[in-house]
Amino acid sequence: MSRSTKVNRSRKRVQQALAELLKDKDYCDITVAELIEKADVGKTTFYRHYERKLDVFLAMHDAFFDALLQDLTVREDWFSLSPRPSVIAMLSRISEQSSFRRSIAYRLGSDAPQAHRQLKLNLTSLIEQRLTSAFSSDDFIIPLPSLASTLAAIYLDYITQLFNDALASSVEERAASLQRLTQANLRAAIAD
């Protein structure tokens, strides 16, 4: 077995362990020791791959964001009248996991500001990559990084609302609203 395969397997085990622990506990209540034990990896292995628990959380979300945007690959996907299946699927998953009573900020504890900032940067980067492959850079009258940052903020706000159950509509209605907000921002950013 190659070293990269072992590394990927160890990283995946740690991420899966955090996902399992998050089903029963808030992020702020999980210790690195619990995470190491649940993942069945050594302390050295954990710290070889991650500096802290927040890094595991962020890596988990990178995969989540990639799955969320997987159906947004071409211009028509971004301008579709109906939300993409990947968006509906991921919003449904979030909605099903939002049974906790505490706010996201509380659940993340002292890592909340840094987590939010880094999640937004990571999602912004991914959205910018997707837009770059779906559109010509000459299409935009608003700088692409600004547009991607705005869309990332909208997506994160919707995700937060799902976790906090602030919206009383169905997942499909929420996904449709998110699609309309995305379209509106894209139309404003593209030269006619």
Tens of pLDDT, residues 158-182: 888 776 664 567 888 989 999 999 9
Is 149 found in the same domain as 57? yes
Q: Number of structural domains, the chain?
A: 2
Is 161 found in the same domain as 68? yes
- How high is the pLDDT of residue 165? 63
Q: 9, 30, 50 — which closes off a domain?
A: 50
CB 128 within 8 A of CB 145: yes
Share of the chain above pLDDT 70, in %: 89
Is 170 found in the same domain as 134? yes
Is 142 found in the same domain as 110? yes
Is 73 found in the same domain as 40? no
Write down the pTM of the prediction: 0.87
CB 119 within 8 A of CB 155: no
Is 164 found in the same domain as 80? yes
Is 107 found in the same domain as 96? yes
Mean of the per-residue pLDDT values for the chain? Answer: 89
First to last CA, the chain: 54
Least trusted range by pLDDT, from 39-43, 67-71, 89-93, 161-165 = 161-165
Is 118 found in the same domain as 74? yes
Is 79 found in the same domain as 156? yes
Half-sphere exposure of 108 (CA within 13 A, CB side): 18
- Give the mean pLDDT of 38-61: 94
- How high is the pLDDT of residue 99? 54
- How high is the pLDDT of residue 102? 65
The residue range of the domain holding 42 is 1-50
- How high is the pLDDT of residue 8? 80
Report the C-alpha gap between 157 and 122 in whole angstroms: 15
Choose between 5 and 17: higher pLDDT. Answer: 17
Tell me phi and psi for residue 81, to 5 degrees. Answer: -75, -25
Task: Assess whether pLDDT exceeds 70 at residue 186.
Answer: yes
Task: Assess whether pLDDT exceeds 80 at residue 97.
Answer: no
Query: Any idea what the CATH number is for the domain that residue 21 is in?
Result: 1.10.10
Is 75 found in the same domain as 38? no
Is 37 found in the same domain as 66? no
Task: Assess whether pLDDT exceeds 70 at residue 6.
Answer: no
Task: Assess whether pLDDT exceeds 90 at residue 149.
Answer: yes
Is 67 found in the same domain as 16? no
pLDDT band at 3 (very low <50, low <70, confident <90, very high): low
Least trusted range by pLDDT, from 46-55, 74-83, 120-129, 168-177 = 168-177
